[in-house]
Each structure stands twice: as structure tokens, then as C-alpha cells.
Homo-oligomer: A and B are copies of this chain.
Amino acid sequence: MKIAVDVMGSDKGPVELTKGAVAAAEKGGFQIVLFGDEKIIKDALSTLKYTADVEVVHADETITMCDKATSVIKEKKTSSMAMALSAVAEGKCDAVVSSGNSGALITGATFIVKRAKGVKRPAFAPVIPSATGPVIIVDSGANVECRPEFLAQFGKMGAVYMEKVMGFENPSVGLLSNGSEDSKGTDITREAKALLEKSDCNFIGYIEGNDIMTGKSRVVVCDGFTGNVALKTIEGMGKFVSAKVKNLLTGNPIRTIGTLFMIRGIKKFKKEFDSKQYGGAMILGVRAPVVKAHGSADGAAFGVAVAQAAKVAENNVCGTIASAFETVQE
């Protein structure tokens, strides 16, 4: 198992990501190939003790957060991201991880790694915490407008991931809508609902916004516009609440005394909100695992995403998705 790791183009920089990736390889017993500025990476490696098999491939260019999504297949073909994706496309590596530009990574996944046969549209699929455990949102940004058959495929792809990687047997799939009654939704969601009802998914019907965080279904299906708004709304609400909780706990000296009674609780509280525990967002529907770590991921969070990529490759998530759609007409 060999994982291609793009260590460039993120907030924390290549040294931090190199450390995280090496620690993950060391712990997981797989090989990694680090793509990026050779000098910086080798300097970082020289400070580390490890026995894992670590290769370094130099890349001249870095895709920044400001670059266009298409730069990965046009102006910056020799960037670390493009080279890491190419290594997977050429079969030299089994999966790829990057915490760089999301749009570029989706474009690169689609046009370099390429769509799996039968998959209509690859989707961006992060896993978030909920009251009943992890939930995957498919799609959360890759496809702004979706035909019903795209949505139905998102349900299946999400279910394969939640079963193969997260260990949920026959995971439930819900279709995000503006109400639970059949009459709700748009023409597109109503058609998608009919398709999902006929599918082999454990489809539970329409779910509503509040059902995401209560964890009513393991897979939340929606178009990329709605999924992006929902995901970012959750993030915004999380930040709003964190600030309020912080103020509640430490807003004045007397309250701060109170927090001494709940130090362990506060640590647990923070951990439960941290979606980095589940790794990065998957790009589902392409021929090999492509994992997008958070742009602000530190070494530890990046390492979780690298280990996740190895697990997705080991469990043949992409093969299972491809075989689910092999009879679909292109």
C-alpha cells in the first residue's frame, strides 16, 4: 500500500504535514510518497526518527488557495497536487491525500484520476459528528446543480463508504429536503426519491435540516449547493456556540473557578465537536481514493486523513462503488 501525499498549499505548511504523514505511515505500516518542495521536505525528514518507507518527489510548483480549479490540469501540471494525482492515475500509488485547494483537487480527481465507469458525477463528501455518530454528506460542493440520477448515485456511494470504512452495516440513507412529506422538495428531489426507493440502499426517505445533526441517517444526500450551505451553516453555528460556551465558562473569574470542576468534561466536549477525528472529505466516484484534508489541518489531523486514505484503498471502496454502477449507461 503506497499513499501519494501532497504536502503543499495548506495553511500549516509542508513541515507540519510531512511530520503528520510520516507518523501515520509509521503507525499504519504503509508506504508514503511525499510530493512538494524537496529541500523543505528532506530537511523536515532529517529531524524525524522513523522506519517507514518514505519517498520524496520534488515538485516545482504549488497550487495555492487563490488558484483556479482548472490550474491543476492547465497552468500548473507540474504542481505537487497534479503530480500526486498523476502518480495514482498511473498506478504508482494507491490513494492520494491533499489539504490544498478543494476546487483544484476535485477537478484533478475528475480529470486526472478520472471518474469510475458508470458514475455520473464524482461528489465531495465530508464526514461530520452527529448525536448518533458519524454522518457523511454527499454532495457538499462538487455539483451545484444535480439531476435526480446523480443524487441517487450519491446515496449509494455514501453508503459504501459508511459500510466499508466506518463499519456501519447497511447504513441508512436520507434525502435532504424542506419537509418530510412526499409532496415536499423540488421536481428533482421527488424524482431522486423515487429512484432511491427502487435502489438497494437502506433509504429512509426525506430528512430535514435538523436531522443532519441528530444523526437520523448515516448518509445525507443532497446537491452540492444545498450540501455546501448546510455544512458551512453547521460550521458557523459551531463557531457561534463555541464563542458563547467559552464566554459562559471563562467570562468572569468566578465562572473560571467553576471550570476547574469540569476540565475532563471540557476536553471530551471539544473532542466530540472535532470533525477531524473522521479524517478528510472523500471525493467519491473516482477510480482511486482521493482524500481532501482540511486546509487548516495540523500534523495530527493530516495524519488521520493519510491513514484514512490507506484504509479506503485497503477496503476497496472505489472498486465496490465502480462495481455498483458497472451496468449504468454512460
Contact = CB atoms under 8 A, between A and B. Distances in A.
Given A243-B131, A269-B248, A236 B210 contact: yes
A266 interface: yes
Chain A contact residues, majority secondary structure: helix
Contact of A213 (B176, B236, B262): B236
A226 B225 contact: yes
A48 interface: no
A239 B213 contact: yes
Interface residues of A, number: 59
B233 A212 contact: yes
User: Of residues A185, A230, A235, A243, which shows the largest number of chain B Cβ atoms within 10 Å of its Cβ?
Assistant: A230
A257 B258 CA distance: 7
A209 interface: yes
A249 to B, nearest CB: 7
Interface in A217-266: 222, 224-226, 228-241, 243-245, 247-249, 251-252, 254-255, 257-262, 265-266
User: Of residues A210, A237, A265, A273, which shows the largest number of chain B Cβ atoms within 10 Å of its Cβ?
Assistant: A237
B262 A255 contact: yes
A178 interface: yes
A324 to B, nearest CB: 27
Interface in A289-307: none
B237 A211 contact: no
A230 B228 contact: no
Contacts of A247: 265, 269
A67 interface: no
Nearest to A272: B244
Contacts of A177: 225, 229
Interface string A160-197: 00000000000000001111000011100000000000
Given A225-B185, A225-B186, A248-B265, A232 B210 contact: yes
Contacts of A235: 209-210
A141 B214 CA distance: 21
A60 interface: no
A204 interface: no
Nearest to A262: B255
A144 B177 CA distance: 10
A127 B41 CA distance: 50
A233 B231 CA distance: 9
Given A211-B232, A238-B241, A248-B268, 15 more contacts: A130-B240, A177-B225, A178-B225, A186-B225, A209-B228, A209-B229, A209-B230, A209-B233, A213-B239, A214-B236, A214-B239, A233-B233, A248-B265, A258-B258, A261-B261
